[in-house]
Structure 1
Amino acid sequence: MSRHRRRTDAPRAPGPIFLLGDGLLLYLGLAGTVLSWTTAYGLGGQWGILLAGCLLLGLLSLAVWSVPRHSVLPPLVLGVCWLLAVWRLWGDLRLGWRTAAAQAAESVGGRVWLLDRILAVGAETAGGISGGPEAERAVTLWLLCAAALWALLLGWAVVRRRRCWPVGLLTLPLLIPAFAANRLPDWPPFLALLTCCCTMFLSELYARSDPKGGARFTLLALPASALLLGLLTATLPMEQYTYPQRTMEARYRLLEALRLPGMPNLFSGGYSSAGSEAEVDLAGAGPLSFSGRTVLRVETDVAGRVYLRGHSAGVYTGTAWESLDESLYEAMGELPGGYEPLNFPALANPDQPYHAVTVESAGASGGCLYFPYSLLTRPGEISGGAFVGDSCVAKELGTWRHTLYYRPEAGPRADMPGLRGEAARAERVYREFVHENYLTLPEGFQETAFAWIEEAIQAAGPLMVREPRRDFGAAYEGDIYTAEVISLLLAAVTRYDPATPLTPEGEDFVTYFLNGSRRGYCMHYASAAVLLLRTVGIPARYVSGFAAVVPPSGRVDVPDSSAHAWVEIYLDGYGWYPVEVTPGYGGGGGTTASETPSPSQTPAPETTPTPTRAPTTGAVRTPAPTQTPPPDSTHAGDGEAEKVAPLLRWTVPPGLGLILLAVLCFRRRLLREKRLRRLKWEGETNQAVLAAYGYLQRLLPWGGQENARLEELARKAKFSQHRLTEKERGEAAALVLREAGRVDAALPVWKRLAFRYLWGLF
Structure 2
Amino acid sequence: MASGLILTLLCVTGESSLWALALGTSLPVIALLSILRTRPRGKVLAAGITAAGVIVWLIAGGAADAVEVVRALLLHFSGLTAALPLVARPFAAILGVTCGFIGYGLTSRRVGAYPALATVLLMALLLWLGNRPDALWGLLPAIIPCVALLMVSGYDEISVTRVLPLTLVVVLLSFTGVAIGGITVQPMKEAADALRQKIYDYLFFTSARDVFSIASQGYYPQGPTQLGGAATPSERPVLRVSGSGRIYLRAVTKSSYTGSMWIDETGGRRYLWSSPRWQNLRSQTFDLTLPDETLAANLPAKTVTVTMLSDSASSLFVPQRIRELSVGSGIVPYFNAGSEIFATRNLTSGDTWTATYVDLTAGQSGLAELIDAGAQLTDAQYEDIRKLYTGLPGHLEQRLFDFARNAAGSADSPYEMARSIQSYLQAYCRYSLDIPEQASNLDFVSTFLLMTREGYCTHFASAMTVLCRMVGLPARYVEGFVADVDASGQTVVTGTSAHAWTEIYFRGVGWVTFDATPWTSTQNASSAPNQPDDLPTPSVSPSPSPSPSPSPTPSPSPEMDDSSASHEPTSTPSPAPSPSPEANLPTNTPEPAPAPPDNPPPDVPWLLLILLALMAAAGGRIWWTLPTTRDKQAKDESTRCMVWMQATHDALRMAGLRRGRSETPQQFFQRADEAVHAQGALAVVGEIETLAFYARADLLPSDAQALRQAYQTLWQGMKPLRKVRLTLYRAVVPLKMRNFTQS
Same fold (TM over 0.5): no
Higher relative contact order (CA 8 A, sep 6+): 1
More helix by share: 1
Larger radius of gyration: 2
TM-score by length of 2: 0.40
